[in-house]
Structure 1
Amino acid sequence: MNTQETFDVVVIGGGPSGATAAHELAKQGHSVLLLDRGGRIKPCGGAIPPRLIQDFEIPDALLVAKARCARMIAPSSKHVDIPIDNGFVGMVNREAFDEWLRARAEHAGAVRRTGNFDRLSRDSDGVSVVHYHVREGKRGSESLPAQVRARSIIGADGARSGVARQGCVPGAERTRYVFAYHEIVRAPESAQRPADYDDARCDVYYQGRFSPDFYGWVFPHGDTLSVGTGSADKGFSLKSSVQRMRETSGLAEAETLRREGAPIPMKPLPRWDNGRDLVLAGDAAGVVAPASGEGIYYAMVGGQLAAEAVHALLLTGDVKSLQLARKRFMKLHGQVFWVLGILQWFWYSSEKRRERFVKICEDRDVQQLTFDSYMNKRLTRKKPMAHVRIFFKDLSHLLGLARV
């Protein structure tokens, strides 16, 4: 008889997707191990929409700022300020936000452990074994191996997921990535703030000098700011770009608190499960929105759907249940991802097109429909005539008929 510790589910990765999955499954009475490596903070603007706050019951105390305006800045430095009417976008610090999600999962009954995932194997009865190691001793100098059995596994260990490769998820090795980098800086004191500084505004730079194929950002985080960018161009220096952005925005002398970088997946994987006992969630599944780079909401939805799929597997034993996570996600958000992918491919491809893109953002119909879709996480259909007007305005920009 095998006396090794066995869990219904082992969730590998304690970011928003993994912590959400662990919380959902623990609430349903399953034995859950949440395995997370320590000291991990992902580079992230930290924006969460009202839909996330409502659906996942995020307390107001976790919001370090409430953005009420977005400034879109063109290559010419012309800008468009888009107010967030009757609402706000919440801003969180990932270190505190992720830890709160992990603690909530633990409170629901999940077992938390800190360790680095190594590999997967199978016992003689076919049950998966998760191998990991923990660091102990002075400055983590000692590596101690450990292992647990898992009736099912959720891989939420980020882009370039080791769980996906070890678990034999088809297509995981062919995923393409961009790289994101940001610096967390201390917000300047009132007397030292640049003339145009606004701690309730997100600045988005659509300029090739800050990213040849994405955008740069300066996002408020209360007493700190996130200044970052991303690109798939391996020859482009993200650190130099952030330094230029800090100089442009008057933050060159601000104290730097942290520097972080990480790969970001470019699109959802074609498959999220191994057809047996494993499903992916979050960045491991590739759910980062094109064009916007938004990931927290989609990661948490992906974790929730992965939990539903695993719950069905454990109840029925039907391995096809694992396919439900991707099917449901793509039904909910696949159209939005497709539209955003086209937007990024076309409008971010040159300085001339970026200039026209920001010009389009002056239009009130575009602003309202964009924020309706962002805040509620669906393509809004409330105003059909507004869509018609936007179509003809976009067409005039595409043909170069509109003045910039």
Structure 2
Amino acid sequence: MSRLDTHTLAEQFDCVVVGGGPSGSTAARQLAAAGRSVLLLDRAGRIKPCGGAVPPRLIRDYDIPDSLICAKASEARMIAPSERRVHMPIDGGYVGMVNRETFDEWLRDRAARAGAERRAGTFETVERDADGMALVTYRPAGAAKTDAPVSVRARTIIGADGARSQVAAQTVKGSDRQRYVFAYHEIIRSPGIGAADYEPARCDVYYQGQLSPDFYAWIFPHGDTASIGVGSMQKGFSLRTAVTELRKSSGLANCETVRTEGAPIPLKPLKRWDNGRDVVLAGDAAGVVAPASGEGLYYAMEGGRLAADAIEATLATGNAKALGIARKRFMKAHGQVFLVLGVMQHFWYRSDKRRERFVAMCDDPDVQALTWQAYMNKELVRARPAAHAKIFFKDLGHLFGIGETTGAR
């Protein structure tokens, strides 16, 4: 529960979490379960465009019930510019798929059950009261334009309000230097089996310049629905047109469209996640979406957990330097993966010729085995040096065009 500060007559919380997505909800739940007074402020009604893939480690680490998994993908299919199709089966496992509308709400409800106070509203400002404590101002959902905004005092703040975070813009220096992929997807009713080029247990990833000049397009199963989307950093490129073309070519043009969503997605962690005083960022606000893949759910929740650790350490010791442990621990665990994926995106996604070679490389059993091990467990695989050496030399072959790289399968 919040405490009423008798000096200012404003509610006071140990932590105000701005943003109720996977990152903010994870942080709010953890702090509330530890006995801290937490306000979870979320702008109601917004759903981020997302393929919805959750690896086994996320399900395991964050106790996600099977009831939230709307589909289980047992393979991925990579489609090259030449229409070559490479199948990447998952040996003995699966990637879970979730609907963000249901998944995010369940996470917010779980935070509330742990003791966090949920409120729907739009964040406006972080200011300082006479004592120097942070004053978070927001406009409650449904409030009239003439109504005064609400302010609460916060010993600490977690900015988990997504890409182009307003908390970050107002409090963390350098947060305006982020670059984004713009993503757009359409949620459709799934077709019947055999009615289109679609399988309910397969994720399709299209590496084709006409669908995305610098990223990729996708068709991901969600049980009764499916996500069809595309991302690009190129200004002026029509994401909607690309999705329309993908639906047409895959036989999904006539499927009912349930809803459409679009948003910027950051693909590089910010160099600083805190203000050195009482604010730390998490999730998209901190830039923790994986390059090349655009995967963000696991990293968002991991970032939320680490942000909560940093806030707890700061509250317990009074030492604001503890805020820095969130980024430090995240980068120690995942920084190398982000670096490798960033280099991969920069090189392989630059032209259809390179995309063709990239998809051809994915046909290699060693590449598939190591890719799935790294993805499912969220760490680079170091136990097979011979396989890594083999892949390295094959990579050079594809890079310089040595060997066969085209032809449909």
**TM superposition score category, shorter chain reference:** over 0.9
Note the 1:3-402 alignment, pairs <5 A.
3-136=9-142, 143-167=147-171, 169-190=172-193, 193-194=195-196, 196-402=197-403
d(CA) in 2 for partners of 1:175 and 1:399? 32
d(CA) in 2 for partners of 1:254 and 1:267? 35
d(CA) in 1 for partners of 2:170 and 2:386? 50
User: What is the aligned residue count?
Assistant: 399
Contact persistence 2:18–2:40 (CA under 8 A): yes
Structure 1 residue 166: Cα displacement: 1.4
Letter of the 2:271 counterpart: P
Contact persistence 2:314–2:322 (CA under 8 A): yes
Residue aligned with 2:289, SS: coil
TM-score, normalization: structure 1? 0.97
d(CA) in 2 for partners of 1:174 and 1:235? 21
d(CA) in 2 for partners of 1:402 and 1:328? 42
Letter of the 1:92 counterpart: V
Contact persistence 1:75–1:207 (CA under 8 A): yes
Residue aligned with 2:154, SS: strand
d(CA) in 2 for partners of 1:86 and 1:105? 33
Q: Which moved more, 1:169-178 or 1:276-285?
A: 169-178
d(CA) in 2 for partners of 1:401 and 1:351? 16
How big is each residue's C-alpha offset from its partner over 1:262-306, in whole Å with a ceiling of 9 and x where there is no partner? 011120001000000000000000000000000000000000000
Letter of the 1:402 counterpart: G
Contact persistence 2:80–2:208 (CA under 8 A): yes
Letter of the 1:129 counterpart: L
Contact persistence 1:4–1:149 (CA under 8 A): yes
Contact persistence 1:136–1:142 (CA under 8 A): no
d(CA) in 1 for partners of 2:363 and 2:325? 40
Question: Is the alpha carbon distance of 1:123 and 1:378 closer, same or farther for their aligned partners in structure 2, counting shifts above 3 Å?
Answer: same
Letter of the 2:373 counterpart: D
d(CA) in 2 for partners of 1:290 and 1:278? 25
Structure 1 residue 382: Cα displacement: 1.7
d(CA) in 2 for partners of 1:178 and 1:291? 10
d(CA) in 2 for partners of 1:135 and 1:64? 30
How big is each residue's C-alpha offset from its partner over 1:327-373, in whole Å with a ceiling of 9 and x where there is no partner? 00000000000000000011000000000000000100000000000
How big is each residue's C-alpha offset from its partner over 1:33-56, in whole Å with a ceiling of 9 and x where there is no partner? 000001010000000000000000
The 4+ residue runs of structure 1 with deviation greater than 3 A are 140-144
d(CA) in 2 for partners of 1:264 and 1:114? 23
d(CA) in 2 for partners of 1:176 and 1:75? 26
How big is each residue's C-alpha offset from its partner over 1:59-94, in whole Å with a ceiling of 9 and x where there is no partner? 000000000010000000001000011100000000
How big is each residue's C-alpha offset from its partner over 1:236-259, in whole Å with a ceiling of 9 and x where there is no partner? 000000000001111000000101
Sequence identity percentage: 65
TM-score, normalization: structure 2? 0.96
Please list every run of 5 or more consecutive structure 1 residues that lacks an aligned counterpart in the other structure. none
d(CA) in 1 for partners of 2:179 and 2:308? 26
Please list every run of 5 or more consecutive structure 2 residues that lacks an aligned counterpart in the other structure. 1-6
Letter of the 1:292 counterpart: S
Letter of the 2:215 counterpart: F
Structure 1 residue 144: Cα displacement: 4.6
d(CA) in 2 for partners of 1:40 and 1:135? 12
Structure 1 residue 135: Cα displacement: 3.2
Letter of the 2:165 counterpart: S
Structure 1 residue 235: Cα displacement: 1.2
How big is each residue's C-alpha offset from its partner over 1:178-201, in whole Å with a ceiling of 9 and x where there is no partner? 2100000001134x712x431000
Structure 1 residue 141: Cα displacement: 6.6
Residue aligned with 1:7, SS: strand
